[in-house]
C-alpha cells in the first residue's frame, strides 16, 4: 500500500463522494452542509481495572445525523479506532439508512482496544463501563441512539449493553430496544446473524437479473455459473459466499489475512471452512492453488469480486489490475475514490457499500420494531395463515378429486415463521432500493451507482430537513 493510502482520510473520502453527488441535487448550500456535518461527537476516556492495574480506555460515539431519531450504528473494538474513521462510518450509516428507507439517523461507536488481549470478564467490564458513559450523556436509548455489533463485537457484547442500560434505566419498558444484534433470548430477531451477507447476495442478484446492465458487461442474466471471489471469511463474507454457492454461482477464490486459495473450477465452501477449522488456515486446501499474498487474489480472474473485510483494499495501486466486471462492496469503504475513477473508466460496475451492506441495519430495524411491539414476528398470524391455506387446499382437492403429496401439502400450508418474514422484508428492501438507485442514475444521467446512491440519500435527507424546518 502506498504512503498516500496509508494516510488516507476515510471521512474526507466520504465527503468527496458527497460533494460529487450534491451537484445533481437541488438543495441550497446550507442544507447540504447540515446533511454533511456530524451533529454530535462524543470522545471519552474512562478507567477500567484490568488485573492489578488501572487502564485508561479511549472510546467514541458519534451521531452524524438527527434528521430522524433514533440514531443507528454499530460499535467496533479495534486498535485502529479513531475519530476520523468513526465519523466516516457514522456518515455512511446516515446515507445507508436513507437509501434502504430505514427511518434512523446515522451513528457509529468504537473502543480503541484489541479485544483478543482481554478475558471475557475484562471485556464485559469495558463494555458495561462504556455503556454507563453513554447513558450519562444521553447517547443511548430506544428513541435516542441504538448501537449494534460491528468489527470485534457480537451478540454477547450487545447483551451486556442491554443489561447495563436496563439496570441504569429501571422501569423503561422499551429498554431492550436500546441496542440490536442481541441474542434471541434477549429480544434479538432470527435472521440477524446472516443479514448483511444475505443482503449482499440479494443486492448483487438484483443487478445480475437486470438485463440492461448485464448486456453492458457482455454477460448473461442471473447469478448461475458466475465466477465469484470473496475477500474475508468472516460473518459477512462467509454468508455471501454461501448464498452465491447455493444459487449456482462458482466460488473460485477466497482471500484471508493468512493468504488466499484459487480454483477456476470452483471451491467447496463448507469443506474449505472445515479445512480452516482443523488446520488454522485456508492455505493448502486440496485441489486449490495457494496465493501467498492475499491481495493478489483480488486481481485474479472472476465475474464478481466481493471485498468483505477491510477498508481501502482496492486503491490507485491495484485498481487497474482488477479483472472482475462487478465489484460488490460488502465491507465499509473497500475502494478509495481513486480506485473508483479507474474502475468506472474500465466499465466495471461497482455496487456501493452504503447500499449493498445495508442488510444488517435493515434487519436491526426489524429487531428494534420487535422490541417496541413486544411480540415475536409471526406469532399472531402463523396458525391463522396455516389454517386458511389448509381450508383452501381441502376445497381445491374436493373440487378436483386429486390429492397433493405430503411434501407439497407441507409447503403450501407452511405459515410464516419469524425468519421467513425477516428474509422476505430484507429481500423486498434490497430489490426496491437497488431499482430506486438505478432509476436515479438513469434519470439524471449519473455515471455510476455510488454517486446515484448518494444522490438518492441526499434527496431524502434534504427533504426531511426542509419539512422539519430550522428551529428556532
- As annotated, the active-site residues are 108
CB 108 within 8 A of CB 93: yes
- Residue 86 CA, chain-centre distance (Å), reads 15
How many residues comprise the chain? 472
Could you give the CA distance from residue 186 to residue 181 in angstroms, rounded to a whole number? 10
Beta bridge mates, 45? 58
Helix (H, G, I), strand (E, B) or coil at 142: coil
**Mode of pairing for the β-strands spanning 227-231 and 145-149:** unpaired
Cell of 325: 466486471
Cell of 406: 405430503
Backbone angles phi, psi at 335, to 5 degrees: -110, 140
Return the half-sphere exposure (C-beta side, CA atoms, 13 A cut-off) of residue 174. 15
In 158-268, where do the E strands start and end?
A: 227-231, 250-256, 259-262
CB 378 within 8 A of CB 419: no
CB 97 within 8 A of CB 70: no
- Where do we find the cell 455503556? 131
CB 304 within 8 A of CB 252: no
CB 334 within 8 A of CB 310: yes
Of the candidates 12, 71, 15, 14, the one whose C-alpha atom is nearest the C-alpha of residue 40 is: 71
Cell of 370: 420487535
- Residue 162 CA, chain-centre distance (Å), reads 21
The DSSP code sequence of 34-67 is HHHS-SEEEEEEEEEEETTEEEEEEEEEEE---S
Distance (Å) of CA 357 to CA 136, 286, 406, 426, 433: 31, 31, 39, 11, 12
The DSSP code sequence of 65-85 is --SSSSEEEEEEE-TT--HHH
Cell of 378: 409471526
Helix (H, G, I), strand (E, B) or coil at 173: coil
CB 73 within 8 A of CB 109: yes
Cell of 186: 434477549
Amino acid at each position: 500500500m502506498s504512503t498516500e493510502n496509508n494516510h488516507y482520510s476515510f471521512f474526507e473520502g466520504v465527503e468527496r463522494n458527497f460533494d460529487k453527488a450534491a451537484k445533481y441535487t437541488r438543495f441550497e448550500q446550507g442544507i447540504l452542509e447540515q446533511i454533511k456535518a456530524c451533529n454530535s461527537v462524543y470522545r471519552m476516556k474512562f478507567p477500567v481495572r484490568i488485573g492489578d492495574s488501572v487502564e485508561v480506555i479511549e472510546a467514541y460515539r458519534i451521531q452524524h445525523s438527527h434528521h430522524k431519531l433514533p440514531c443507528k450504528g454499530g460499535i467496533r473494538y479495534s486498535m485502529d479506532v479513531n475519530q476520523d474513521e468513526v465519523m466516516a462510518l457514522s456518515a455512511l450509516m446516515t446515507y445507508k439508512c436513507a437509501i434502504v428507507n430505514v427511518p434512523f439517523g446515522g451513528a457509529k461507536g468504537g473502543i480503541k482496544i484489541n479485544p483478543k488481549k482481554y478475558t471475557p470478564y475484562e471485556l464485559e467490564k469495558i463494555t458495561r463501563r462504556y455503556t454507563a458513559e453513554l447513558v450519562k450523556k444521553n447517547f443511548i436509548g430506544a428513541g435516542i441512539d441504538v448501537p449494534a455489533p460491528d468489527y470485534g463485537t457480537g451478540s454477547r457484547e450487545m447483551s451486556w449493553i442491554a443489561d447495563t442500560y436496563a439496570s441504569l434505566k429501571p422501569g423503561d419498558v422499551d429498554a431492550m430496544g436500546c441496542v440490536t444484534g442481541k441474542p434471541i433470548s434477549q429480544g434479538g430477531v432470527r435472521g440477524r446473524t446472516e443479514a448483511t451477507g444475505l443482503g449482499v447476495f440479494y443486492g448483487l442478484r438484483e443487478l445480475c437479473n437486470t438485463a440492461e446492465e448485464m448486456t453492458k458487461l457482455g454477460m448473461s442474466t442471473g447469478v448461475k455459473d458466475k465466477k465469484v471471489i470473496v475477500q474475508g471469511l468472516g460473518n459477512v463474507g462467509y454468508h455471501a459466499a454461501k448464498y452465491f454457492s447455493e444459487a449456482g454461482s462458482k466460488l473460485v477464490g477466497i482471500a484471508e489475512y493468512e493468504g488466499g486459495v484459487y480454483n477456476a473450477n470452483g471451491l467447496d465452501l463448507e469443506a474449505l471452512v472445515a479445512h480452516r477449522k482443523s488446520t488454522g488456515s485456508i492455505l493448502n486446501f486440496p485441489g486449490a492453488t495457494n496465493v501467498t499474498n492475499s491481495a493478489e487474489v483480488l486481481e485474479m480472474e472472476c465475474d464478481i469480486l466481493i471485498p468483505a473485510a477491510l477498508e481501502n483494499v482496492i486503491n490507485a495501486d491495484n485498481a487497474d489490475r482488477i479483472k472482475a466486471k462487478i465489484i460488490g462492496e460488502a465491507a465499509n469503504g473497500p475502494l478509495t475514490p481513486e480506485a473508483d475513477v479507474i474502475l468506472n473508466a474500465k466499465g466495471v460496475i461497482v455496487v456501493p457499500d452504503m447500499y449493498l451492506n445495508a442488510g444488517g441495519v435493515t434487519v436491526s430495524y426489524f429487531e428494534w420494531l420487535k422490541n417496541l411491539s413486544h411480540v415475536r414476528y409471526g406469532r399472531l398470524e402463523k396458525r391463522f395463515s396455516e389454517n386458511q391455506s389448509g381450508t383452501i387446499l381441502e376445497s381445491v382437492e374436493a373440487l378436483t378429486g386429486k390429492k397433493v403429496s405430503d411434501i407439497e401439502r407441507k409447503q403450501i400450508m407452511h405459515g410464516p415463521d419469524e425468519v421467513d418474514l425477516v428474509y422476505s422484508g430484507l429481500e423486498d428492501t434490497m430489490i426496491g432500493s437497488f431499482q430506486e438507485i438505478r432509476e436515479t442514475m438513469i434519470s439524471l444521467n449519473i455515471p455510476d451507482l455510488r454517486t446515484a446512491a448518494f444522490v438518492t440519500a441526499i434527496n431524502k435527507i434534504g427533504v426531511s430537513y426542509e419539512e422539519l424546518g430550522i428551529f428556532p
